[in-house]
Amino acid sequence: GRIIQSRSEDSILREIEDVRDKVQGFTGTISDLGGPTANMYRLGCRTPEIEAACRKPSCVYPGICSNLTTDHNPLISIYKKGREIKGIKKILISSGLRYDLANQSPEYVKELVQHHVGGYLKIAPEHTEAGPLTKMMKPMIGNYDKFKQLFEKYSAEAGKKQFLIPYFIAAHPGTSDEDMMNLAIWLKKNSFRADQVQTFYPSTMASATAMYHTGINTLKGVHRDMGEGGRGEKVDVVRGEKRRRLHKAFLRYHDPKNWPLLRDALKAMGRADLIGNGKHHLIPTYQPMAGSCGGQKNEKFLTIPSMVMEKKQPKPGQTLTQHTGLPPRQGTAGKKPSYRPSGKR
């Protein structure tokens, strides 16, 4: 929903103290503070009257509503007071960040990056193209670029090597083959290589599922005259195993197993110029020998989960697209999950 229910500052700080005092084996680290709404604490409509009359489905799409308060100072206060509690070594924010809202408060981004990121921060641009992003009611990729600049700036000021791990999705309603090709080009340009890939699957109680089954953009309204020349907007729905495999292959453009499928698709799309052996090409003209990793000499591949587990810290360019997150860290098998107090109920 649109309304964020926020607990009081004292309630959250008392829970941190309870975790410290009552959780057996607590090491001093709060693994995540805020839950799925990491930076929407106490954000809401400016007045109850406007909120009661509003019929917009989202306060942050297609842009941040002028009536939405975006003051992050109450959250900054919790961060500062939380890490000053005796026995608390570190409070981490690992996911759930709405980066278009964070961009409204560079002071918050600085506080977050310099004190509450444990090496990597997971965020979800989901895509780079307007087709699928408008169906997800997500901000355009320019918001990610702006946040990335702030993230890298404040990480450098703190003398820390920290990385963003973006999530992307394939085959979402509204995604064309060209959209996935452009996403693959963006990934290649930014040196990202997806490890685990999430392909859209219709689930209950989701507007995307309604689009998947009807082929209609339900965000634009559903009308009787939805045919040619009628009202409403048709949505490109990705169906069939071959096309879903193609969209997934674009996300994993670096995997040699996908190259034959991608070559055929790029030729059919009139983009054979992306096939070649130069750095500006998306995929090579050759197919590696059996048993070969398919990469050029000294090229680093980050596509095997066990390789990620062996790393002490994430590498630049590593990206995962499963919303279950990263593989477990080494040495944590069998341990109880860390406690993560939520900023809402």
70 and 126 housed in the same domain: no
- 1 HSE (CA, 13 A, CB side): 9
Q: Which of 6-20, 36-50, 101-115 has the lowest mean pLDDT?
A: 36-50
Q: Does residue 209 sit within a domain?
A: no
Give the pLDDT confidence score for residue 290 in this predicted structure. Answer: 67
pLDDT of residue 301: 35
In a domain, 220, yes or no: no
The answer on 138 and 264 residing in a single domain is yes
Q: Which two tokens stand for residue 222?
A: 């559903």
Can you give the pLDDT at residue 232? 78
Cα separation, 58 vs 3, in Å, equals: 10
**What mean pLDDT is predicted for residues 5-15?**
95
Which one has a higher pLDDT value, 307 or 225? Answer: 225
Q: How confident is the model at residue 307 (pLDDT cuts 50, 70, 90)?
A: very low
Residue 35 lies in a domain: yes
**Domain check: are 280 and 180 in the same one?**
yes
Structural domains in the chain (count): 2
Over the stretch 126-151, which tens digit does the pLDDT of each residue have? 999 999 999 999 999 999 999 999 99
Residue 344 covered by a domain: no
Range with the lowest mean pLDDT among 101-115, 187-201, 293-307?
293-307
Give Cβ neighbours of residue 333 (< 8 Å, ≥ 6 apart): none
What percentage of the chain reaches a pLDDT higher than 70? 82
| 126 and 63 within one domain | no
pLDDT band at 242 (very low <50, low <70, confident <90, very high): very high
The most confident of 214-228, 236-250, 306-320, by mean pLDDT:
236-250
Q: Please, what is the angle between helix 9-22 and helix 73-83, to 10°? A: 30
- Residues 128 and 22 reside in one and the same domain: no
Q: Which residue has the higher pLDDT, 327 or 240?
A: 240
Q: Tell me, what's the pLDDT at 323?
A: 44
Query: What residues make up the domain containing 51?
Result: 1-91
Choose among 299, 301, 215, 211: nearest CA to 255. Answer: 301
Residues 174 and 318 in one domain: yes
For residue 142, tell me if it sits in a domain.
yes
In a domain, 60, yes or no: yes
What pLDDT is stored for residue 336 in this prediction? 52
Please state the rounded mean pLDDT for residues 178-203: 93
Quick one: average pLDDT of 40-46? 93
Give residue-wise pLDDT tens across range 61-110. 999 999 999 999 999 999 999 999 999 999 999 889 999 999 999 999 99
- Kindly state whether residues 309 and 266 are assigned to the same domain: yes
Of 83, 76, 159, which is closest to residue 114 (Cα–Cα)? 159
Q: Which residue has the higher pLDDT, 204 or 325?
A: 204
Q: Is residue 28 part of a domain?
A: yes
In a domain, 43, yes or no: yes
Residues 261 and 308 in one domain: yes
